[in-house]
Chains A and B, each alone.
Chain A
Amino acid sequence: MIKTSAWKSRVTNLCLEVITSALVILWIYTSISKIFDYDNFKTQLGLSPFLEGMNGFIAVALPAGELLLALALIIRRTRKLGLYLSFGLMFLFTGYIWIMLHFAYDLPCSCGGVLAEMSWDEHLWFNAGMTLLAAIAIFMIEHKQHAASSSAAQMRMA
């Protein structure tokens, strides 16, 4: 029984590390791509009917925020917060792509690096997948922390 539980815990830890690493890589990669291709990114944002006029602010704030998010995921103390924020941002991106696909009258591409090669539909599915992974990671980290605090409490009582 203990063996099974330890094995389960190891698998959960491994999955959590894999998902967190994937998110860290994603945030660092996309933010750096945006920074290196800043002019193009800002222009493409300006082409979005929903972000017109805000493109200057978003072009700076978004890559900076993505880098901070990656940092939050790397630091263990802030990892849970990083996962919640990752979930929120990925959900926001997914929703944004959905409204662009359904309502926008001009479809620019404002992503960076290889992600720019994806079609809008592919992007929607990719982002939805990453949102789901972030949600799974949140459940894992919450359960892990809960289990850790429960066992710590039990030890204190003992």
Chain B
Amino acid sequence: MNKRIIIRLVLIMVGAIAILGTLMAITTMPNEKDNGFVRKWAREEALEPVDTFHLAQDLSSIAGINDNSIFIAGASPKGVLILNKKTHAKEILQINLKVASDKLVPFYMKIDSPNIFLHLNNARVIIDGKFPNSPFRITELETGIFIKSLQLNDSTALIKVPDSSLTSQYLYLKNINTGQIEKITELKDKNEKFVELKYDGMLLFDSINHTIIYLEYFRNKIFALDTNLSLKYESQTIDTISSIDLNLVKQTKNDTTNKLTASTARILVNNFGTISKGQLYVLSELRADNQDIRDFNKHLNIDIYNVQNGAYVNSITVKKPDSFIPKSMYIDKNTLYIHFNKEIRIYNLPHTNR
């Protein structure tokens, strides 16, 4: 009788696998077809890690790096893991925040030791101070809930806020010392068209060229703005995803909270970006035509652009450890730090990119 039961269970499993196989077969996956661009390699071989730090828990992102330490924001902004670069010793910095737990995430954290800047999107506040012991200053924002933010320097924060109709987006420059909003501007392209909210992107800052970069996640768009929020240039990443069929739907939760969410699967074009020495490093999710798909799947590809004009320089690649998911990327003094869910891997950048 056991044999009969096993046969039935196996038949059920085969049926389920057939359904899943059909779903996979009829789904067009990104990078299956050529994307219509090629990469120019700074060096043919993938970069090898020169050091690795194992992480016991899933952390949020690298918040800062100095000569001795790597600062990694926890899943909640209440904790920061400090890794000693030389000894690999770990220390946890606890941040005493009196903020409701549902308002803690999402957040942005920047640590320029000993200064710490914390932006809480849902609480609409900027918190700054010096660790470990100085009291924190809280700056409340007059804006609504914000989507992205960036600390440009010790006094100025850049905030990206949706408009009330949740279609377009505004940039605010907030001086946290005076409490004044220094500038508000709509995010527009070179044709003066609104960059709609669905074209979400990351904010980056090049302190050498005093340039703010708005790098889109789902299109190949780069917008460069000066520190007065005027558009310097509009450029594009080397891939060819210039338009997306991305729909957003507004959802109301408990009749009070409006939530804007995508209604179709999104193909990520640019996953992470970081700026170092006037160069923009973009972790791309798209395969170039001169890359084999299997090879592509085993590596992370980082494309490098000149911040001054948005021109493509070349690309580097690093091996992607199995089942590791990249969480953030940081460059400090010619050293690339990639934060995966289980490790931080450190790479020396090739000379050509320095």
Contact = CB atoms under 8 A, between A and B. Distances in A.
B19 interface: yes
Contacts of B208: none
A47 B261 CA distance: 10
A49 to B, nearest CB: 4
B266 interface: yes
Interface stretch (A23-31, A67-75, A137-145): A137-145
Given A47-B263, A138-B9, A91 B16 contact: yes
Query: What's the dominant secondary structure at chain B's contact region?
Result: mixed
B29 A103 contact: yes
B20 A96 contact: yes
B115 to A, nearest CB: 33
B13 interface: yes
A87 B5 CA distance: 12
Contact of A105 (B1, B13, B23, B268): B268
Given A50-B27, A92-B16, A99-B20, A138 B5 contact: yes
A47 B268 CA distance: 13
Interface stretch (A1-9, A10-18, A38-46): A38-46
B303 interface: no
Contacts of A104: 265
B251 A43 contact: yes
B138 interface: no
A115 to B, nearest CB: 18
Given A43-B263, A103-B29, A106-B266, A146 B17 contact: no
B13 A91 contact: yes
Given A103-B24, A103-B29, A146-B1, A92 B19 contact: yes
Query: Which of B2, B29, B264 has most chain A Cβ within 10 Å?
Result: B264
Contact of A95 (B20, B264, B266, B285): B20
Given A92-B20, A135-B9, A105 B263 contact: no
Contacts of B285: 105
B297 to A, nearest CB: 10
B12 A88 contact: yes
Nearest to B9: A135
A106 B24 CA distance: 14
A47 B265 contact: yes
A126 interface: no
Given A88-B16, A106-B266, A51 B2 contact: no
Contacts of B9: 87, 135, 138
Contacts of B1: 142-143, 146
Contacts of A20: none
Contacts of A39: 251
B12 A84 contact: yes
Nearest to B266: A106
A127 B267 CA distance: 27
Given A47-B264, A106-B266, 17 more contacts: A43-B251, A43-B261, A46-B264, A47-B265, A48-B265, A50-B24, A51-B23, A84-B8, A87-B9, A87-B12, A95-B17, A99-B23, A99-B24, A105-B30, A138-B5, A139-B2, A143-B1
8 residue pairs, one from A and one from B, having the closest CB atoms: A49-B265, A92-B16, A88-B12, A50-B23, A106-B265, A95-B20, A91-B16, A46-B263
Interface of B: 1-2, 5, 8-9, 12-13, 15-17, 19-20, 23-24, 27, 29-30, 249, 251, 253, 261-268, 285
Interface of A: 39-40, 43, 46-52, 84, 87-88, 91-92, 95-96, 99, 103-106, 135, 138-139, 142-143, 146
